[in-house]
Amino acid sequence: MEAFFVSFSTVALAEVGDRTQLLALLLATRFRKPWPIIAAIFAATLANHLAAGFVGVWFGRLLAPSLLDGIVGVSLVVTGLWMLKPDTIKDDAPAGNAGVFMTTLVAFFLAEMGDKTQIATVALAAGYRNLTAVVAGTISGMMIADVPVVFAGSAFASRIPVRAIHFVASGLFALVGVVFITRALLHVLASH
């Protein structure tokens, strides 16, 4: 359960003001069809985070526990620092004839590549080695952050204290990172 809750909370907070949330807002205001947008966000996130989770679990099996926990801890602290840099997105989301679902699916999947939440998914899956709990948590976190934005559009997005939420998310990432670094140090001390 810990893997799910940590994954859920860190990604839900990290997604606020993230470029993929801004993309969700942009697509919602452009197409004004929330259900296909939400379905496409879910499908794109499922594919992206499942792949990221597999990479994380695979990576986690290759390394000794102390080294793995150290790498995961440092990557989460770095991601926490990255949270302090606000994301932006240009109003050039693809439209075309692909339809709302396909346009959102492709745009969201590509925007999520190398994103903070994808990197967090890799790190959390490596650290917890529980693909199902981590991916379920990260997808739930993405959806809880993006669905209200899709429904409420720009009125909702302009009222949330994005900077404050970024600081909280940054602190949460750093805290989880410190937990993993501490675990790494305890592994090293126990082996001596």
Domain parsing of the chain, residue ranges: 2-191
pTM: 0.77
Helices 65-82, 162-191: axis angle to 10 degrees equals 160
In the structure encoding, which two tokens stand for residue 84, read together?
């302090």
Average pLDDT over the chain, rounded to an integer:
86
38-42, 65-69, 100-104, 158-162: least confident range: 158-162
Least Cα distance to 146 among 57, 3, 13, 4 occurs for 13
The predicted pLDDT at position 6 comes to: 95
In the structure encoding, which two tokens stand for residue 5, read together?
């809750």
- Mean pLDDT computed over 169-174: 80
To the nearest 5 percent, what fractions of the chain are helix, strand and coil? 80, 0, 20
The predicted pLDDT at position 173 comes to: 76
* Amino acid type, 142: M
The predicted pLDDT at position 93 comes to: 47
Q: Is the pLDDT of residue 141 over 90?
A: yes
The predicted pLDDT at position 123 comes to: 93
Assess contact for 45 and 112: CB atoms under 8 A: yes
Residues in the chain: 192
59-73, 124-138, 156-170: least confident range: 156-170
41-50, 138-147, 163-172: least confident range: 163-172
Most confident of 59-63, 70-74, 145-149: 145-149
